Amino acid sequence: MQHDVFYYPSPSRRMVNMGHRGMVATSQPLAAQVGMRILQKGGNAVDAAIATAAALTVVEPTSNGIGSDVFAIVWLDGKLHGLNASGPAPKAASIEAMRELGHDSIPNHGMLPVTVPGAPAAWATLSERFGKLPFADLLAPAIELARSGFPVSPITHQLWEEAFHTYSAYDDASFAPWFTTFAPDGQAPRPGEMWSSPDHANTLQRIADTQADDFYTGALAERIDAFSREHGGLLRKEDLAGFTPEWVEPISVRYQGHDIWEIPPNGSGMIALQALGILERLGPAVNDPVETLHQRIEATKLAYVDGFAHITERDAMQPSVAEMLSDDYLRARAALISDQALDPIAGEPRSGGTVYLATADGDGNMVSFIQSNFKGFGSGMVVPGTGISLQNRGWSFSLDPAHPNSLAPGKRTYHTIIPGFITRQGKAVGPFGVMGGFMQPQGHVQLVTGMLEDHLNPQAALDMPRWKWTQGRTVEVEPHFPDHLALALARRGHDIVKLTDTVTFGRGQAIVRNPDSGVLTGGTEPRADGAVIPW
């Protein structure tokens, strides 16, 4: 491909956003505005990412909160850095403990699936190492939003309403603080209705004043511990006190002359890398859109079943990341793809729901940042008087002791949230991500192939109709997915299911930088209330 094709506009149903001095892209306009205010105040891309993330806990609580986990990829001063701020299982959490409580699998709601939240520590850690402005300044806009309130946007309302009905099915006092905090009038806030949370504001202020220490060792930690004990949880203040985010080296594959980067396991970004690696070894299906789609679906399926079978804590993985991304193994997986849909099974390579944001500043620094409570509000647990909604990431653990991702005290589980980043010849191209549970790796595949192989600008790539592999030969597609392509895929053995809405197909953002002019081009998700704000 031509070096410059990717960087210039291509047809899109939406306006292409361009800037030069900075850019913020995320799923909620008010949060994007917060990030831009920080850039214009003199902050860098890291400062803007932290401020935007904190604001998202307020204006999009349906997907993330103060009790979330975080992964981030930072390009700063010409170097790539990775941060894994996913928390481990409590020290009291074990397969035996769950079985003694009567569980054959980990419940998705309540205190039992709650692992140590990593978000506040991630914000403080990123600020300390890479930030320019004082940490308290970064959280101030979110604090003001929480205290003064904001009008709820339409898609956020839809997700809020779903959560309201989900938690209403529980006759359990532990869910009462969620309703007090997020449905004080006995219903989810309507579109355009103002919602505020003074408790949320006060908690963010404590985090700002103490560099997040209060959340892990202070009064907030005590309140989390007390609530967990009261409602049968296993999380304790000692678990919180022992948490530190981990700096990691991002992992990559080469695709279409670019290097695609993800956070290593326990994150699931390796699935996207494996799928792209398989596609690179297949080569392009020239002028055949059906064959192109078929190959992308098949590669994604093969990568997914490998990920489900093998991904867990990196040190506990057998086989290793290097083995799963090796040229020999990727070629062997590519060789399984024929002109008909396969029912994928995991290979053996051994040789013997979430918010995403992207930021960029005028100095070339860029951040790919993802923050999540897992599905919706997460566990449904809100620590009384704090506004802290706790994730339910432990739901991903297996209670089968033979499974690589089996529950163990202090272990981090398979994680769906994955930030992505693209470089070319050692220079930053830009951050990208698609939020949405198990949609995320295949969303990454569709966004990257759209930009790098189909030569679409970020907005056009995000606008494209999406598909989602679920199991076996079943592939769900969006309502506006072209019928002729769906029928052609069905003739190849795919079980195509056309859904009536787009809410489960992920929500993405992307920013790319022209390597010659420094001009930034951004795209935001049409399936969300999102915005790209250029400067």
Helix (H, G, I), strand (E, B) or coil at 356: strand
What is the rounded CA–CA span in Å between residue 532 and residue 535? 10
Residue 390 has φ and ψ, to the nearest 5°, of -95, 135
Residue 115 annotated as catalytic:
no
- Residues 160 and 158: their CA atoms lie apart, in Å, by 5
Cβ 138 vs Cβ 52: under 8 Å: no
Give the residues across from 67 on adjacent strands: 390
The residues pairing with 507 across neighbouring beta strands, listed in sequence order, are: 435
Give the tokens for residue 53: 């993330």
Structural contact between residues 412 and 266, judged by C-beta atoms closer than 8 angstroms: yes
The answer to whether 70 and 53 have CB atoms below 8 angstroms apart is yes
- Are residues 64 and 437 in contact, defined by beta-carbon separation less than 8 angstroms? no
Helix (H, G, I), strand (E, B) or coil at 136: helix
Catalytic residue among 57, 62, 115, 354: 354
Contacts of 232 (CB under 8 A, 6+ apart): 101, 110, 111, 112, 174
User: What's the one-letter identity of residue 466?
Assistant: R
Residues 172/177/379/372 CA torsion (nearest 10 deg): 170
Residues assigned a catalytic role = 354
